[in-house]
Amino acid sequence: MKKANTNLESLRHSCEHVLTQAMLNIWPEIKMAMGPAINDGFYFDFESKIKISEDDFPKIEAEMAKIIKANLRFKKEEITFKKARELFKDNPYKEEWLAEIKADNQKPIVYWTGDKFVDLCRGPHVKKTGEIKAFKLLSVAGAYWRGNEKNKMLTRIYGTAFPSKKELDVYIAGLEQAKKNDHRKLGRELDLFTFSDLVGSGFPLYTPKGAIIRLELNKYIEEIQSKEGYMQVWTPQVAKADLFKISGHYDKYKGDMFRVASNYSDEEFFLKPMNCPQHTQIFKSQARSYRDLPFRITDFAMLYRDEKPGELIGLSRVRSFSQDDCHVFCTEEQVDDEADRAITMIKKVMKTFSFSYRYRLSTRDPKRPKDYLGDPKIWDKTEKWAEEIMDRNEIEYFNAPGEAAFYAPKMDLMTTDALGREWQLSTLQIDYVMPQRFKLTYTDKKGKSRTPVMLHRAIIGSPERFIMIILEHFGGNLPIWLSPIQVKILPITEKHLAFAKKIFKQIKNQGVRIEVDEKNDTLQAKIRNAQTERIPYMIIVGDKEIKSGKISLRLRTGENKQVDTNSFINDTKRLISGRSLKI
């Protein structure tokens, strides 16, 4: 199990305190809110009547540099509530924190930076500010206090810190590359998807090219699933509120669901945010025995979640999406085999895309037991079981208390893209709660009625998020099997068009996605356009090709070669069918 880098966390947390102190030195009237270290840096939220922008960063960074150069000591102190209220009087954010600390029967802890700056904090920190060797402020954004849109909008400054300037430079270079490979930018350039104000924010519209990528991804997952005995189903996108009341989503998840009104009924309906409640009804539709188990069903139907407008980002967080969703109804004795089967499929898919990954064990928040359904003893059992499954499959993982679903812990796959950023894709969950709430049963070998265990599983998760990841991971240069257009023929002049169309027909009949560029452009312009479209293969047709009967092939990598048409077709089909990353 991989442990968090506490030294880096301490460094970044300390740098956040330096940022806060620098801000107060420059603008004493601002009110501190909060500012933790995060995965790739830190941030600080504050309230101010002054509008602070990235133009102010040089001034803030200069003040931070002075504090760092002073090599001030970080000193931890446990204080009384009386003293804490004196230190943070007239600051409603700190007063709110203090009230929560008191409610939890804890003592206020502060950290001093030198003798003048102090903040409520439990650490960790480095010993002195001089240990901060390399830092940079990155961006400014708006953020609601504690993430609640009913609260005041604050200003948030993001930054990062590293043990050395070299590491910081590498990180900044990665951010610049990420801007170039932003999937929203690539989606427009490659004509894959769009958004419309008339349709609504968070509802992506896929063009013919974008739809090809979705279909190919789903086709791949279905090919793997069907070989392992999974059966595809299709379920409605709307369901009665009663379904979600039984599942627990009505009470625990209602705020994130779209309510649907009927013109002919007073019944309450919702767009479904997940498939599992409806899948229970497929299982329950007829009597089941132990001979029917494991019962594996998959579903690619659309799902809808009412995400907050400020959290919608391209395809990474949307309001309409699908999942390569699967639910396995099985006996307790079958859980291990089914979990291993799922993990084996997940490993195969991750290998196809050459993704590195680790798992997140998403467990309960021990401080919020009322957020979860089911017997705590069952939770203890399934959380331990999840650890055993990952250990047996030699999976690297880390703990994430509070990230569990309300009905079960989760084994969430976190993949790392080409820029080192981490994203959740797959999930695997052992669920006792939902089968019990829906009164699902099967007959065992002795004729007794038993409740099945329900496994929730996804491989790539949402195609929306997966498309975002692979677009940025490959910089738009998708593997040939996923490329909407795999080959483009570039006739040099109009007189070469007839031969180009002949080759087009020959290759298209073999199932390859191909186009002919019939524009009245120069060859260089056609090559440039094809490169911009990230076309894997360009076939150039001129007098030489007509005479020789061979084709001049140009790869998007810039490589050129003469090949036989039939050899090219066979090699291309092999790469496509093998879902190769090579071209």
Expressed in percent and rounded to 5, the helix, strand and coil fractions of the chain are: 40, 25, 35
Closest alpha carbon to 405 in 435, 367, 434: 434
* 276 labelled ligand-binding: yes
Active site residue 410: yes
Active site residue 330: no
CB distance 549 to 542 below 8 Å: no
**Alpha-carbon torsion 203, 204, 208, 212, what sign?**
negative
Catalytic residue among 21, 225, 278, 323: 323
In this structure, which amino acid lies at residue 150?
K
CA distances from 460 to 14, 187, 324, 347, 430 (A): 37, 19, 7, 11, 18
Q: Is 260 helix (H, G, I), strand (E, B) or coil?
A: strand
Closest alpha carbon to 280 in 407, 403, 388, 381: 407
Closest alpha carbon to 202 in 303, 114, 104: 303
| Inter-axis angle of helices 208-227 and 463-473, nearest 10 | 110
Q: Do the strands 231-233 and 295-299 form a parallel or antiparallel pair, or are they unpaired?
A: parallel
Catalytic residue among 136, 410, 513, 534: 410
Catalytic residue among 456, 473, 513, 534: 456
CB distance 401 to 364 below 8 Å: yes
* 125 labelled ligand-binding: no
CA angle (556, 560, 562) in 5-degree steps: 130
In this structure, which amino acid lies at residue 49?
K
Active site residue 292: no
Active site residue 325: yes
Element (H, E) at 498: helix 497-508
Q: Do the strands 453-458 and 205-206 form a parallel or antiparallel pair, or are they unpaired?
A: unpaired
Active site residue 197: no
Active site residue 125: no
DSSP one-letter string for 141-198: EEEEGGG-TTS-EEEEEEEEEESSHHHHHHHHHHHHHHHHT-HHHHHHHTT-EE--TT
Active site residue 17: no
Dihedrals phi, psi of 89, to nearest 5 degrees: -65, 145
Catalytic residue among 15, 276, 326, 330: 276
Q: Please state the residue numbers annotated as binding site.
A: 276, 327, 456
Q: Please state the residue numbers annotated as binding site for Zn(2+).
A: 276, 327, 456
Query: Annotated active-site positions, please?
Result: 276, 305, 323, 325, 327, 410, 456
